[in-house]
Amino acid sequence: MGSVEMKDWLIVGAGFAGSVLAERIASQLNQSVLVIDRRPHIGGNAYDELDEAGVLLHRYGPHIFHTNSKDIFEYLSKFTEWRPYEHRVLAQVRGKLVPIPINRTTLNELYGVSLNSDQEAQEYLNGVAEPVANIRTSEDVVVNAVGRELYELFFQGYTRKQWGLDPSELDKSVTARVPTRTNTDDRYFTDEFQAMPKDGYTKMFEKMLDHPNIEVRLGVEWADIKHSNKYNRIIFTGPIDEYYEFRFGKLPYRSLLFEHKSIHVKEFQSVGTVNYPSPDVPYTRISEYKHLTGQDHSWTTITYEYPSAEGDPYYPIPRPENQELFKRYEELSLNETNVHFVGRLATYRYYNMDQVVGQALAKFRRICPA
Ligand code: FAD
Ligand code: UDP
């Protein structure tokens, strides 16, 4: 790369973690920032773009914004308007498409029963649930709530595909992301704020990074500029084990292959995402963006997600031995005075977008001079 001027800050990664901190430092501290990313675009995994058919797609799989934090929603609202959107997901189970999270409708449609109230549904679940005294794993959470049959139908196959591990080998926090309901609410999320950036995520990131104190350089690797000494402080949002050159060994991350397909029909499926928990289907889910974006187009674009051990690091894998390895890296990071680690990869946390924004804003408050 060409010559680089001296900057107050170098930020590695132009996703939510890096872009929020760049924006805050540039606009609130009036300090200069160089943001780099190895990819040819900003936005990290939330990046969206028009495909060849002219349909807005999320290159790294469907991203639905949801939060209970008014502060986080208001902060992002400085950079985008919103399109209200509540995500709905169906699961293909025993040849039927039924709501997931499991709710009363799921039970009625799957078993041909007619449970008419929350209480009746709860009684039904009490009859099949297998209480687990000490809930530790992702199997425990689900079996405790809905019993083994529903666990196997909806969770075991999906989780084995998604993580390459049985739910009994994963921390409870993974499947606990998906609740069980006795009502008929079929929304995937129940957060107070649920919306999509009106003109897409990338446009929102462009606005965030549009500041005279911010320079963005794309297609640049941290490894290629780390010895240039042209910046006083660093924010690193890539994988923490990579920063420390894997000195304690590799932290496991799960990857996905995305197969994007444009089809000349108005609508492919009735909801944003359909999950395929069956072990006989190689992908975990199919998402159709027009439900999320509201785009009016004669074509539609869908994405199949195929889990993979190889590829970009998308998911930290929550299990005790990985957390222990992360802690060793974290200990090194806590002794750094001029390097800060923020984001899903750098703090090895299975965080949603709003949680990463919250983490970045909290980090800004700590680095901000009083
Ligand atoms: P990232 O977005 O990963 O950004 C890190 C950036 O750093 C990347 O662009 C990377 O290229 C760059 N980088 C890393 N290392 C280097 C290096 N050495 N040199 C240069 N650049 C480097 N969250 C939700 O809230 N709702 C959803 O619906 C949702 N769906 C998701 C679906 C999928 C398939 C995935 C994988 C995630 C989903 N998420 C969702 C989570 C969301 O993607 C993350 O919370 C968020 O994008 C994390 O932001 P980040 O800045 O921490 O990391
Ligand atoms: N999960 C499942 N079946 C489903 C949906 C989710 O087994 O139909 C499990 C699976 O282990 C998944 C986890 O619950 O990885 C969290 O699901 P979520 O939809 O939150 O995953 P993400 O959108 O983060 O990939």
Q: Is the pLDDT of residue 1 over 70?
A: no
Q: Is 16 in the pocket of ligand 1 (CB under 6 A)?
A: yes
Q: Which DSSP string corresponds to 46-80?
A: G-EEE-TTS-EEETTS---EEES-HHHHHHHTTT-
Least confident window among 118-127, 165-174, 361-370: 361-370
Closest CA to 100 of 57, 56, 157: 157
48 ligand 1 Cβ < 6 A: no
The token pair at 307 is 């889990």
pLDDT higher than 50, residue 137: yes
Give tens-digit pLDDT for 290-315.
Answer: 999 999 999 999 999 999 999 999 99
> What are the domain boundaries of the chain?
7-51+198-250+318-367, 115-177
CATH code linked to domain 7-51+198-250+318-367: 3.40.50.720
Compute the mean pLDDT over every residue in the chain, rounded to the nearest whole number. Answer: 97
CA nearest neighbour of 193 among 329, 70, 32, 17: 70
Measured CA to CA, the distance from residue 370 to residue 352 in angstroms comes to 29
Ligand 2 site, CB within 6 A: 91, 100, 154-155, 158-159, 162, 174-175, 177-178, 275, 277
What percent of the chain has a predicted confidence (pLDDT) above 70? Answer: 99
Which comes out higher in pLDDT, residue 8 or 369? 8
Q: Report pLDDT digits (tens) over 91-111.
A: 999 999 999 999 999 999 999
Hey, whose CA ends up nearest to atom 34 of ligand 1?
Answer: 61
What pLDDT, in 10s, does the model give residues 197-236?
999 999 999 999 999 999 999 999 999 999 888 898 999 9
Identity of residue 190: T
63 lines ligand 1 (CB under 6 A): yes
Residue 258 alpha carbon to ligand 1 centre in Å: 15
Residue 29 has pLDDT above 90, yes or no: yes
Residues 124-134 have a mean pLDDT of 97
Residue 230's pLDDT is: 87
Q: What spacing in Å lies between the alpha carbon of 351 and ligand 2's midpoint?
A: 13
